[in-house]
Amino acid sequence: MNGQWTIDNMPDMNGKRVLITGGSGGLGLETAYGFAQKGAEIVLAVRNMEKGRQAADGLLEKFPQASVEVMRLDLADLSSIEAFAAGFIGKYDALHVLVNNAGVMIPPYGKTKDGFELQFGSNHLGHFALTGRLLPLLLRTTGARVVTLSSIAAKSGYIYFNNLDGRLGYSAMKFYGQSKLANLLFARELQKRLSAVGANTISVACHPGVSNTNLISRGSGKQAGRAVSFIWGLMSQSAAMGALPTLYASTENLYGGEYIGPTGKGGRKGYPGFDLSVDHKMNEDTMAKLWRASEELTGVTYDFSRAENEEWARLNIRM
């Protein structure tokens, strides 16, 4: 898209429910502001409930008519994901947009509760498991979509299938790139599988460019040092600008499978549009292999049967 796409270009979101992981700060909270401005019902899925409630209070202060719910979710814990999804499906009858936003960036080596390397486990496997468990609700919501955040780091990313847990060596930046490439490959493979069964749900990927968020705290949850924050501030755009690709991917008229990011030089800054710079990474064999590995590691398999049954019904009606 040419031009300067902003929140003003978003459609009215009244009657739409949006779930945002990591919605208590940074890009997730800025994304929530955009949806609240357009009238969406927002659910913030957060690890820290106190921060989540503070974020919700800030949203309501700015948009008093907004509908905001806070629910606890730890993407580094498969049991938390299972409990969250069960609670969500038990409470809500529709999910129009799932925004897989939460993530950690270049932390020291660590593992999730289930023994996965922290970045691959939280950024990719956690969202893979969450999306799979929420899939029945997404499939029965007309026009639903899954929006998964990647990063410009995906350009140099590689999937280390023989070392996914870092036991043979760990580089924080390389494993961050791996997790964000995995996000991108997951989004594209999910779209491929949704299309194969004629689902109405679509999957879109996006990235925020270089945006000034708390990710530079390296997963600690603390503020970065003054020097780091100053340099990062010079290099990056605001979190509000960084959230625009997510809002675009969540609301524009898309087919599924697109990758949305800033259109400035190197994809680092600017207004959102289509990013074709990683098309060479979309290897069908790698995508399928990652999907199989993700199912094996998480124990979550995707059930597309509802979409298949609905497509069969549509075909019979036309006949």
259 - beta bridge partners? 205
Distance CA 199, CA 286 (A): 23
The SS3 call for residue 21 is strand
Q: Which tokens hold the place of 191?
A: 């779209």
- The type of residue at 244 is L
**What is each CA distance from 74 to 103, 194, 278, in whole angstroms?**
11, 26, 29
Q: CB–CB of 249/207 below 8 Å?
A: no
- The candidate with the shortest Cα–Cα distance to 68, out of 81, 84, 80, 52, is 52
Cα dihedral 280, 285, 288, 293 sign: negative
* CA 289 distance to own-chain centroid: 20
Distance CA 311, CA 319 (A): 12
Q: CB–CB of 189/195 below 8 Å?
A: no
Active site residue 176: yes
- Compute the half-sphere exposure of residue 208: CA atoms within 13 Å on the CB side of its CA: 27
Options 160, 176, 248, 271, the catalytic residue: 176
Phi, then psi, of 148 in degrees rounded to 5 = -115, 125
Q: Which tokens hold the place of 170?
A: 């760990």
Q: CB–CB of 22/45 below 8 Å?
A: yes
Q: In what order do the strands lie in the sheet with 272-274?
A: 67-72, 41-46, 17-21, 97-100, 145-149, 202-206, 259-262, 272-274
First to last CA, the chain: 38
Residues with a catalytic annotation lie at 176
